[in-house]
Amino acid sequence: MTVKKGKTSSGALSNISRRKFMGTAATVAAAGTITGFPNIVQAAEPIRAIGLGVSIINEIQSRAAKDVGFKIRGQAMGYGALFGKTLNQNDQYEVSECYFDMFDVMIPSGVFQPIDTHRIKDWDKVSNLTKTGMLTPGSQVGQGDAPVRQIWVDKDGKRTDGPSRYISALPGWHNADSLGYNPEETGRSIDSWAELFSSDFKGRVALLNIPQVGAMDAAMGMEALGLIKFGDKGNMTRPEIDVLVDFLIKKKKEGHFRAFWETFGQSVNLMVSGEVVLQSMWSPAVTAVNAEGIPCIYASPKEGMRGWHGAISISKKATGKKLDQAYEYLNWWLDGWAGAFVARQGYYMSTPANTKKHLPADEWDFWYEGKPAAKELPDPFGNPLVKKGAVRDGGSYEQRFKKIAVWNSIMSENDYLVKRWTEFLTS
Amino acid sequence: MGPVRQCRIGPNFLKAAARRRHLMSKVNEYHHAGLIGGQPEADDKTVVAKIRHTEEGFSTAWLVTPASIWLILFLVIPLVSIIVFSFWENTPQGLKPAFSLEFYGEYFYTEGFFDVEAKRFLLPSVFIRTLGSTIYFTLTTMVLCLIVGYPIAFFLAMQVQAFKFQLALFLLCMVPFWTSYLIRAVAWLPMLGRRGLINQALLGMGIVDKPVSFLFYSEFGYTMALVQIYVVLCIGPIFFSLAKIPKDILEAATDMGATPFQIFREIIGPMSMPGVAIGMIFIFVVIMGEFATAVVVYGGKTSTAGTVILNYYGIANYPFAAVNALMLMLAMVIGIVVILRIVDIRKEL
């Protein structure tokens, strides 16, 4: 899961707005006119949204507030906290900006209400990546919790076999992760996950230390080496987990790994400081390493990448006016402005056509088409990010999502995996 | 508890303590200079008046109220809820109140238990082993902190005469604490990293032909960083208890022909034990709960009891995270009890 250094959430905003509103109301009352009416509408009860720093960013929610006419009280948190709050406290949010890999837990738990696609204005513009699993015809759906396996539900929120009027969550931002490497240090181009365990890079390799995701990266490496063939890398059996972790422990004892990273910043530091030459990496992190002047390439392994997909969900506890507001906020996400914003962070949005409308042609060509930057391009906050002539590794949006090997997943044997992963780290 | 008893204060210490008490009764009449030296004594009347005033103004109940409320709200209630959570069940529908010992079993249970092929009993469960490695790193750091910190405190308290220099040097010790914890931890990278200062020097002098990597993201680097970050926690208390030793006793001992080593063994050492104990408790408690340094400096290549709690918190398995937290707490309580059995802080303060 990609956690970009999050901007602070707008939890405090509502207080300010209330104070401002009270002030306005007082003035209006004193003046004895009814011109304050629009202010009262504007200050409609805010709704609460929770999510990672990827989607809960002050700029996004305050822009949404401006467009929809009510405040969105965003709370950014870590993946674990988001998972826990979404599952256990669905009275504490109206909208959870979570991820499809959580849905093996969330759907049976019934914390969300099914979303009626008839109330989603741009539903027909949502790409096929989540509807059929194939962005373009003939693409590979990929193992694990692909959104298409998680999205379709009936009006009671139970899974259905195929397309339905109701969905478990609205598809949002997404990306595919793979390996990042320093070509000057590796001396060759990396085109397979097998390289993760190559003895050429012994002591200079790092792995993502989020058990669910790190295990899948390692599994891709083992499979590419021909050591094992997993039934489903996104849902391993206990014996498969044992084979995987035993192999990892052996490699760790040989001193193969330099470090294990947990946050975006750590992965950037490992590469920039030269401690590591090859590691599992998130696409925006590669851009950040390049921005430091260190060569770093985002590999396109022939086995395919590991995908993940944001899922905007509505709490079952949201009713009446709040529910209407939640739908308005969901519709706003698809409208294009947000898609353009997250594009500049390196993420794709489920309504590319709308995104295109809000993104200057240069930027669209760079982020979505994989073409060289025609000029210097900005990050979402307006700071220069991409140098002129730079090319986004991993090719175009279509190329990237044509071959997803596996999607981020929470396995049935998750507890067992976490236990064995702990053993791997302790060994 | 056998080895613990052996560690307890030997006859020498008791003798020294008795002698000290005797000396103390004599030297109490004097005022001592120094940071923690005796205060000018108030005459009896003011003391009585002060006590009266306190009793009339605020009763004991009032005085302890703020602290009690604080502790109940932010310590007792959370603690009780952790204990309660540890018995709950973690179902696919979320948490369910129950009285289940499932996760306690999970904590101790090792699959297989007896390895038939190797004809041996399997290792303790991974969680106990993780706790074990946490304790190992904690004890190593405590010993190293004592070796590094005691001489510094000794120098400050005994060798530096002027109060203002004592204070200045003591503040200097605190300088690292002026920056955030993370910066202190991250700052090791430019020093110990592959492109760090030490590696540059080694390469430059031709001692090695490629950068050595055992300095950082290694057990060595981890232990070193822990010592650097936390040594101040023991310098403070040791310094304070050393500064409290009346200089007159030391002079008397010298006059009577005691060697510096004897003075240290009989007087300074025993009298600084409370400071050592408090310092060790500080370090013990902090490092047992430590998880960030392991990530930043050791590259996450070890699991501490803290990271296990975080991992299970991360997958919303709160009951098991609670069990782990309680086991960690139990280990900490045992550790503190052991330290307090070795040194009776109360008697010495």
The pLDDT tens digits for B267-308 are 999 999 999 999 999 999 999 998 888 888 888 888 899 989
Q: What is the pLDDT of residues A71-113, one digit of tens each?
A: 999 999 888 889 889 998 999 999 999 999 999 989 998 999 9
CA dist., res. A42 & res. A24, Å (int): 11
Q: What's the structural domain count of chain B? A: 1
Chain B: closest CA distance from residue A257 (Å) = 8
Q: Determine contact: B319 vs chain A, CB below 8 A.
A: no
Which residues, in sequence order, are CB contacts of B79 under 8 Å at separation 6+? none
Residue B52 pLDDT more than 70?
A: no
Look at residue A231 and give its three-state secondary structure.
coil
Interface test with B, best of A109, A419, A421, A424 (most B CBs within 10 A): A419
Chain B: closest CA distance from residue A283 (Å) = 21
Q: Determine contact: B216 vs chain A, CB below 8 A.
A: yes
Which residues, in sequence order, are CB contacts of A188 under 8 Å at separation 6+? none
Chain B: closest CA distance from residue A207 (Å) = 10
Among A2-11, A224-233, B43-52, the least confident range: A2-11
Cβ distance B94 to A88 less than 8 Å, yes or no, reads yes
Residue B33 pLDDT more than 80?
A: no
Chain A: closest CA distance from residue B197 (Å) = 12
Classify domain A177-306+377-426 at the CATH topology level: D-Maltodextrin-Binding Protein; domain 2 (3.40.190)
Residue B109: which pLDDT band, with cuts at 50, 70 and 90?
Answer: confident
Residue B46 pLDDT more than 70?
A: no
Look at residue B114 in the predicted model and tell me its pLDDT: 55
| Per-residue b or e along B48-60, where b marks 16 or more CB atoms closer than 10 Å to that residue's CB | eeeeeeeeeeeee
Look at residue A48 in the predicted model and tell me its pLDDT: 96
Four-point Cα dihedral A60, A66, A70, A76, nearest 10: 10
Task: For residue A418, list chain B residues with Cβ-Cβ distance below 8 A.
Answer: 311-312, 315, 317
Interface test with A, best of B217, B222, B298, B328 (most A CBs within 10 A): B217
Task: For residue B130, list chain A residues with Cβ-Cβ distance below 8 A.
Answer: 422, 426
User: Same fold for the domain at A13-175+307-362 and the one at A177-306+377-426?
Assistant: yes
Residue A278 pLDDT more than 60?
A: yes
Residue B29: which pLDDT band, with cuts at 50, 70 and 90?
Answer: very low
Cβ-nearest to A80 among B129, B130, B313: B313
Range of the domain at B260: 125-348
Cβ distance A110 to B310 less than 8 Å, yes or no, reads no
Q: Determine contact: B222 vs chain A, CB below 8 A.
A: no
**In angstroms, what CA-CA distances link A281 with A196, A209, B147?**
12, 11, 41
Cβ distance B92 to A258 less than 8 Å, yes or no, reads no
Nearest CA in chain B to A87: B94
Residue A385 pLDDT more than 50?
A: yes
Look at residue B318 and give its three-state secondary structure.
helix
CB pairs below 8 Å between A and B: how many?
102
Among B residues 45-104, those touching chain A with beta carbons less than 8 Å apart: 92-95
Chain B: closest CA distance from residue A61 (Å) = 25
**In angstroms, what CA-CA distances link A406 with A19, A369, A401, B133?**
49, 23, 11, 35
Nearest CA in chain A to B130: A426
Look at residue B54 in the predicted model and tell me its pLDDT: 52
Residue B205: CB atoms within 10 A of its CB come to 8
Cβ distance B217 to A84 less than 8 Å, yes or no, reads no
Task: For residue B195, list chain A residues with Cβ-Cβ distance below 8 A.
Answer: 273-274
Q: What is the pLDDT of residues B55-107, one digit of tens each?
A: 566 788 888 899 999 999 999 999 999 999 999 988 777 778 889 888 888 88
Task: Please provide the distance, in angstroms rounded to a whole number, between the alpha carbons at the two ends of chain A.
Answer: 25
Look at residue B12 in the predicted model and tell me its pLDDT: 53
Its sign, for the CA torsion B180, B182, B186, B188, is positive
Look at residue A417 in the predicted model and tell me its pLDDT: 92
Q: Determine contact: B194 vs chain A, CB below 8 A.
A: yes
Task: Please provide the distance, in angstroms rounded to a whole number, between the alpha carbons at the two ends of chain B.
Answer: 26
Cβ distance B310 to A80 less than 8 Å, yes or no, reads yes
Please state the rounded mean pLDDT for residues A33-61.
Answer: 74
Cβ distance B300 to A261 less than 8 Å, yes or no, reads yes
The CATH number given to whatever domain includes residue B138 is 1.10.3720.10
Residue A60 pLDDT more than 50?
A: yes
Task: For residue B299, list chain A residues with Cβ-Cβ distance below 8 A.
Answer: 206, 257-261, 270
Task: For residue A420, list chain B residues with Cβ-Cβ distance below 8 A.
Answer: 126
Among A188-197, A288-297, B255-264, the least confident range: A288-297
Look at residue A283 in the predicted model and tell me its pLDDT: 79
Mean pLDDT of chain A: 87
Q: Determine contact: A425 vs chain B, CB below 8 A.
A: yes
Residue (of A142, A124, A125) closest to A133 by Cα position: A142
Are the C-beta atoms of B289 and B306 separated by less than 8 Å?
Answer: yes
Look at residue A171 in the predicted model and tell me its pLDDT: 97
B48 found inside a domain: no
Q: What is the pLDDT of residues A319-334, one digit of tens each?
A: 999 999 999 999 999 9
Mean pLDDT of chain B: 81
> What amino acid is encoded at A216 in this protein?
M
Residue B39: which pLDDT band, with cuts at 50, 70 and 90?
Answer: very low
Residue B113: which pLDDT band, with cuts at 50, 70 and 90?
Answer: low
CA dist., res. A279 & res. A359, Å (int): 31
What tokens appear for A302 in the block? 């022939």
Q: Determine contact: B212 vs chain A, CB below 8 A.
A: no
> What amino acid is encoded at A115 in this protein?
I
Look at residue A40 in the predicted model and tell me its pLDDT: 44
Are the C-beta atoms of A174 and A307 separated by less than 8 Å?
Answer: yes
Residue B89: CB atoms within 10 A of its CB come to 14
Q: What is the pLDDT of residues B141-197, one digit of tens each?
A: 999 999 999 999 999 998 888 888 888 888 888 887 777 777 777 788 888 888 889
For chain A, how long is the longest CA-to-CA vector?
Answer: 80
Please state the rounded mean pLDDT for residues A380-396.
Answer: 85
What tokens appear for B2 in the block? 């056998």
Cβ distance A262 to B217 less than 8 Å, yes or no, reads no
B313 found inside a domain: yes
Cβ distance A273 to B310 less than 8 Å, yes or no, reads no
How crowded is the C-beta side of B293, counted as CA atoms within 13 Å? Answer: 28
Q: Determine contact: B105 vs chain A, CB below 8 A.
A: no
B152 found inside a domain: yes
- Break chain A into its structural domains and give their ranges: 13-175+307-362, 177-306+377-426
Look at residue B296 in the predicted model and tell me its pLDDT: 85
Residue B319: which pLDDT band, with cuts at 50, 70 and 90?
Answer: very high
Classify domain A13-175+307-362 at the CATH topology level: D-Maltodextrin-Binding Protein; domain 2 (3.40.190)
